[in-house]
Structure 1
Amino acid sequence: MASVAKKFQPLTSARVKHKIQELTKPEAGVVYAYNKNPRNLERLGYAYKPQGYHLEKPGRSYWHKLELIISQRYISAYIRHFQNGIVISASTKEWAIKKQLYKTNDTCAYINLGRVLADRCLKSGLTEMYCDHNTNSDGNTKLNKFIKILEENGIQLKEKDRFIPPEVWDHDYESLVKD
């Protein structure tokens, strides 16, 4: 008796892709939203945020941090991610910015650098970041004007707190149990 058996077919990428599409096919009338943003958990406040050490003065509790480097001739502004390093940068060393400025370290340079950095941040989707620069002293400094321009262009210089889910031992079970 000859047995009729299906011939074994090895897995190929096309067969695997077809099977995945078949299994994940959305139901009719149901709307799905796919978020492909790798920073989504940070924006929601669920991602890990490093705490640093309690003796560190500026601290390390941030996802994105605004850093400003001021030299004798140029100004550079960076947005640094706590794991991946510099994500966005703008500087008066850049030819396109330098060409539009009279001097590369005066008040006008700070204001325009703030506008350029804010525009780049908004285009990349970063609207919240940590800033440890002290702006409470005098309202007319170049740094204060830089920070003011960032805030006017839609950048929040305070990150939201990390959401820490409640643990089992955090609940008051006596108030939940009703007799």
Structure 2
Amino acid sequence: MAFSVRLLLGQIQRCRPIVAINQTARCLSQAAPQPEPSADENESVNPTFVNRNPRNLELLALAVKERGWKTIWPRREFYHRLEFSRTKNYVTANVFSSSSAVPVLTCSTTEWALKKDLYSTNCVSACEAVGQVLAHRCHQAGITRMVFRTVPWIYRSDAVQSFRTALKEGGITLSEPRRKFVST
């Protein structure tokens, strides 16, 4: 036991001068001076700018909208289109982009998360629930404006009206701005 105490004291005495040397070295060191940025560097523009946000032109209403023929219904002039359908058993809502035929977002009462809280999967309250969930998903995806056109005799139903009001209360605008034309 006495041998281990002497060994421990010897190690402490050997380490003490090293600690003192390191402390003085730390006190003498200083941070390297940082160069000040000039005003010209902050105002310069990169000549090879690449837009990494593909929806930037859509949000500014500058992107090209496909026009299609005047006789086609529904019209093809949109960035995002909302399609609402009611069947005998279920309610489904899809958001399509103008560039693809596959839906960008979808919501339906066939999903278990919606189905478990509903009494019926095709009633007016089911349409309202689909509208609320779709509005939340659209906000998560960054889509706040879309086109929603339905056949007039279907549009008057209470189910479609409750779906539409749920989307509007969720913060979705059901029309898109007119396309701006930039002269060159």
Q: Which has the higher helix share?
A: 2
Shift of 1:57: 3.0
Name 1:53's counterpart in structure 2: 69
Paired positions, count? 141
**C-alpha deviations, 1:128-165, integer Å up to 9, x for none?**
00111257988661101100110111100001111111
Distance 2:165 2:150 in 1: 12
Q: Name the Cα RMSD after superposition.
A: 2.7
1:145 is matched with 162
- Matched letter for residue 162 of structure 2: K
Aligned residue identity for 2:78: Y
Identity of aligned residues (%): 35
Q: Could you tell me how far 1:86 is from its partner in structure 2?
A: 0.7
* 2:145 corresponding residue in structure 1: 128
Superposition deviation, residue 69 in structure 1: 1.9
TM-score computed with the length of structure 2 as normaliser: 0.68
Q: CA separation in 2, counterparts of 1:147 and 1:28?
A: 47
Q: TM-score, normalised on structure 1? A: 0.70
In the TM superposition, what is the alpha-carbon distance from 1:97 to its structure 2 partner?
0.8
- Would you say the 8 A contact 2:154–2:160 is kept in 1? no
Aligned mates of 1:101, 1:81 — CA distance in 2:
29
| Residue 27 (structure 2) aligns with | none
Q: Measure, in 2, the Cα distance between the counterparts of 1:35 and 1:135.
A: 40
Q: Distance in 2 between matches of 1:118 and 1:154?
A: 7
- Gapped regions of structure 2 (runs ≥ 5): 1-39
Q: Structure 1 residues 148 and 97 mapped into 2: Cα distance closer, same or farther (>3 Å)?
A: same
What residue ranges of structure 1 are gaps of 5+ in the alignment?
1-25, 168-179
The 3 A distance-change label for structure 1 pair 61 and 97 is same
Relative to 1, partners in 2 of residues 1:35 and 1:122: Cα closer, same or farther, differing over 3 Å? farther
CA contact (8 A) 1:135 1:144 kept: no
